[in-house]
Amino acid sequence: MSILRIHVLGSPVLRQVTKEIASVTDEHRQFIDDLFETMYAAHGIGLAAPQVGRTERIAVVDVDDQAFALVNPVIVSDDKTLAKGEEGCLSIPDVYGDVARPERVKVRALDRDGNPFEIEAEGLLARCIQHEIDHLDGRMFIDHLSVLRRKAALAKWATIKGKYPGYIRTLNADEVAEHHHRDEEL
Ligand code: NI
């Protein structure tokens, strides 16, 4: 397994819509394992392919001890009730914002072995899955903010992005070992 470099806001791949994969191969499984390793190294709870510069429709999540891959995920139904919660993103480090999303979702996807499954999620898991599916469609959480809050988030990002030349974030050993971290980044 290997820790992949994370693309941050400004990298064009984050705005690309991903492509469904025809069947889950060993190469995809290797990629899924790398996504997990990278997510854990970055202390995240979700990570999607575009965040590491790839365009397959694949993401991983780990919320409340439920860790799984989502291949070709589709939201089958969602709740009309919206819930607001703070989100961050491994591709926009240190920027946070409240996002309103359906409180519950039903999602259909393939798992790491290529088997179809359906999951009904609520709370943080539902939020995380929707955030990752957004990534697979070229969307980021700041897109959901009001104009004013998005402006504020982008102003903050403007002061931070210089830390990531070429819009690439390479996780270093210190970061990986860091104990003080936010767990809301997805
Ligand atoms: Ni994210």
Q: Are 117 and 109 a contacting pair, CB within 8 Å? A: yes
What average pLDDT does the segment 10-14 reach? 98
Given the residues 56, 87, 103, 132, the one annotated as active site: 132
For residue 83, give Cα distances in angstroms to 68, 118, 153, 164. Answer: 23, 22, 20, 32
pLDDT band with cut points at 50, 70 and 90 for residue 186: confident
What average pLDDT does the segment 11-16 reach? 98
- CA 43/CA 83 separation, integer angstroms: 24
Determine the distance separating the centroid of ligand 1 and the alpha carbon of 59, expressed in angstroms: 10
Where do the domains of the chain lie? 6-75+106-140+162-185
Determine the distance separating the centroid of ligand 1 and the alpha carbon of 6, expressed in angstroms: 11
Q: Is the whole-model pTM more than 0.85?
A: yes
- CA 55/CA 32 separation, integer angstroms: 13
pLDDT at 125 over 70: yes
pLDDT at 183 over 60: no
Determine the distance separating the centroid of ligand 1 and the alpha carbon of 25, expressed in angstroms: 25
The confidence score (pLDDT) of residue 97 equals: 96
CB atoms within 10 A of CB 75: 15
pLDDT at 130 over 80: yes
118 tagged catalytic: no
What average pLDDT does the segment 143-172 reach? 96
Enter the CATH code of domain 6-75+106-140+162-185.
3.90.45.10
* DSSP β-bridge partners for residue 86: 98
Give the tens place of pLDDT for each residue, 60-112.
999 999 999 999 999 999 889 999 999 999 999 999 999 999 999 999 999 99
pLDDT at 181 over 60: no
Give the tens place of pLDDT for each residue, 19-54.
999 999 999 999 999 999 999 999 999 999 999 999
- CA 93/CA 77 separation, integer angstroms: 30
pLDDT at 182 over 60: no
